[in-house]
Chains A and B, each alone.
Chain A
Amino acid sequence: AFVENIPEIYILSLLFFSPHFLYLLISVSVLTMDPIPGLSKLTVSSSKKIVLNCSDGKSFEIDEAVARKSKLIADMIESGCDGPIPLQNVTGKTLEKVIEYCKRHVVEFGPSDEDDEEAAEKLAIWDAEFIKVDEETIFHLILAANYLNIEGLLSLTCKTVADYIKDKTPEEVRQIFGIENDYTPEEEEAVRKENVWAFDPNQ
């Protein structure tokens, strides 16, 4: 790829030698709306777009690299799927959020060793803000991440739910998830007596 891009490098090197050429270049940039003509080819390895169709009719066009964050989609691309990919189990609203995650987590140039820890910290902060949504959206994201097979998003969403219920009593957890208590009142009483360790609020 570097060999193919020599003409662009050649153009850039001329900048240093000719102020007139620089003027020409700038005007060309303004006309084509491309900062330095051909420079975009140096930065983006693949600009192939993938179209995703949701269950509620919405359509999204994203870069292949972003789409590949989903192992399900990556496998489909590998097996030659070219056209729009139908995602029956995901709504537009959820997919939009999923795409936002994938875009942020796509590795563009590969992390350099020095930036690793700092970049990881920044990413963690972004993740924490990203996941500040209501619980229904989180559950939709869990289901989508599971269906689309996006490991990082599944881990993040499950951890968020886990942290939320970590210190809750069984009764509170029932209320949050709308779970029916199938212990009879007598069974419940017996269980509470035998297991003080689990119901002690000071624990």
Chain B
Amino acid sequence: MKRSVRSRRKKTIENNLTRSKNREESDENENDPFSRITVDLKKEILMKLPAKSVAKLAFVSKTWASIIRSKEFTDLYMTRSSTRPRLLFKVHRHGDHFYHSCSQEDPSRDHQRVKITQIRNPIKSYDFSPPSGGLVCCLSDSSKVLLVGNPSTGQFVPLPKVRTRRLGIVAFFGYDHVSDVYKVLCMTVKNVKKQDRLLVVSEEHQVYTLGAEKKAWRLINCQHPHLPPFHTNGLCINGVLFYYAWTRNKGSLMSFDLRSEEFSVIKLPENVRLLQDFCSLVNYGGKIALSTRLYEGTLDLCVLEDASKQEWSKVSVVVPCGSDLSGRYMFWFRGALSTGELIFASYSPMELFYLLSYDPKEDIAEKVVIEGIGDQFSDVRVYHDHVDSPLFLSNES
């Protein structure tokens, strides 16, 4: 078996490794060194691969699959990955969806791209959640199908059908690192005529836990009547899901604790007029914040300092960016990195895609061009602090 494999080896060696002339003769005398490479050394090699490559190598053999998919290896890989966070770009172009990522520390390095092969419908629209714990959730607006996927490998698996007869579904996704679980929170909305809208609240709240023994949605109680707008994105920070919703016709911030599965309502700060269309949820150094778009070089934020006491602080940042940086595009605040840098992105298609990065310590704003994403036909969403994960998703339905 080994000899025939070796002769095939000759055809597949590439030029960047030079061949030694005495190869065949030296093989006679020495043991095949690869057979002496221990499991630990194989892991060392695997640790140096991007998540996409690692996940593919599980298909080399069952032995490799058992190494790669073991909890031990995945945890080891994720621990190292989280020290090298990545910028994640979700791109939609002519019905094709793909994820592009690069090193956050140096966005010119380490570009990876995966196509989402399951989703290839130019007519339907899909909502993708922000990444949490390396995974994302996707909801198709015209069906009750929810998918969970890995934006590093491109694998997406469908979840069982949501327990409802209605079509109006809102879903949120989050990862809790303490209990090490991924959960999807889903709720439905009765479709009513516009004038009756004030009476509508979300119902049939249910949770799906990834990898749980019982692959089913669990209905849960919600004590606070609220209505999240369709297509609204939640944001998960430290195991708590936050999303915007109307409670008694007032805009509020909802929070859902992934561990306790409890809802709570957080009142928005009083004298700030924030309309849902002009504000988004962002992660501001580990705290949830509501932000407006960058308007004439000023960014206004309401940062939630204490959820239990419902205390907010107001932050105003002046970004030295003239029209040479922003051009004719409107930039939205996407979040603060752990380094303190503020990242801004535009939602309009751009001919050459770029981000704005502002360092408050140095008071310098600069363009960060990301090659190969986007053109005037592409819709690009930007996420930060994404962790490259080789996690393999087993069948959930």
Q: Which of B1-41 contact A (CB under 8 A)?
A: 1-2, 5-6, 8-9, 12-14, 16-20, 23, 26-27, 30, 32-34, 36-38, 41
Q: Is there contact, CB below 8 Å, between A170 and B48?
A: no
Q: Is there contact, CB below 8 Å, between B62 and A182?
A: yes
Complex: how many Å from CA A164 to CA B32? 19
A152-193 vs B, CB cutoff 8 Å, 1 = contact: the mask equals 001000110111111101101111111111110000000100
Q: Is B155 an interface residue (CB 8 A)?
A: yes
Complex: how many Å from CA A195 to CA B60? 13
Complex: how many Å from CA A137 to CA B1? 22
Q: Is there contact, CB below 8 Å, between B37 and A134?
A: no
Q: Is B123 an interface residue (CB 8 A)?
A: no
Q: Which of A133, A161, A176, A194 contacts B12 (CB 8 A)?
A: A176
How many whole Å from B243's CB to the nearest CB in chain A? 29
Most buried by B among A140, A170, A196, A197: A197
Q: Is there contact, CB below 8 Å, between A136 and B20?
A: yes
A158-B48 CB under 8 A given contacts A137-B20, A182-B63: yes
Give the chain A neighbours of B64 by CB distance below 8 A: 179
Q: Is A113 an interface residue (CB 8 A)?
A: no
Q: Is there contact, CB below 8 Å, between B50 and A166?
A: yes
A183-B154 CB under 8 A given contacts A134-B18, A165-B49: no
Q: Is there contact, CB below 8 Å, between B61 and A195?
A: no
Residue of B nearest to A137 (CB): B20
Main secondary structure of the interface of A (DSSP, over half): helix
A111-153 vs B, CB cutoff 8 Å, 1 = contact: the mask equals 0000000000000000000001111111110110010000000
Q: Which of A162, A178, A199 contacts B2 (CB 8 A)?
A: A178
Q: Is there contact, CB below 8 Å, between B155 and A197?
A: yes
A162-B60 CB under 8 A given contacts A134-B20, A200-B117: no
Complex: how many Å from CA A86 to CA B48? 32
Which of B51-59, B188-196, B295-303, B309-317 is found at the contact surface with chain A?
B51-59
Complex: how many Å from CA A18 to CA B153? 75
Give the chain A neighbours of B30 by CB distance below 8 A: 91
Give the chain A neighbours of B27 by CB distance below 8 A: 136
Q: Interface size for chain A: under 10, 10 to 19, 20 to 34, or 35 or more residues?
A: 35 or more
Give the chain B neighbours of A169 by CB distance below 8 A: 56
Q: Is there contact, CB below 8 Å, between A161 and B45?
A: yes
Q: Is A46 an interface residue (CB 8 A)?
A: no
Q: Is there contact, CB below 8 Å, between A136 and B26?
A: yes
Q: Is B381 an interface residue (CB 8 A)?
A: no
Complex: how many Å from CA A182 to CA B154? 25
Q: Is there contact, CB below 8 Å, between A195 and B53?
A: no
A134-B36 CB under 8 A given contacts A170-B59, A174-B61, A198-B153: no
Complex: how many Å from CA A166 to CA B47? 11
Residue of B nearest to A161 (CB): B45
Q: Is B216 an interface residue (CB 8 A)?
A: no
Q: Is there contact, CB below 8 Å, between B63 and A162?
A: no
Q: Which of B23, B34, B118 contacts A177 (CB 8 A)?
A: B34
B128-141 vs A, CB cutoff 8 Å, 1 = contact: the mask equals 00000000000000
Q: Is A43 an interface residue (CB 8 A)?
A: no
Give the chain A neighbours of B114 by CB distance below 8 A: 197, 203
Q: Is A88 an interface residue (CB 8 A)?
A: no
Q: Is there contact, CB below 8 Å, between A198 and B59?
A: yes
A191-B59 CB under 8 A given contacts A198-B153, A202-B115: yes
How many whole Å from B46's CB to the nearest CB in chain A? 7
Since A165-B53, A170-B56 are in contact, a sample of 12 more A-B pairs with Cβ atoms closer than 8 Å, ordered by chain A residue number, is A136-B20, A139-B33, A158-B44, A164-B16, A176-B9, A179-B61, A182-B63, A183-B61, A195-B155, A197-B117, A199-B59, A203-B117
CB pairs A–B below 8 angstroms (13 shown) = A133-B20, A136-B33, A140-B33, A143-B36, A158-B45, A167-B53, A174-B60, A176-B9, A177-B34, A183-B59, A197-B114, A197-B153, A198-B153
Closest 6 CB pairs of A and B: A139-B33, A162-B48, A170-B59, A197-B154, A178-B5, A134-B20
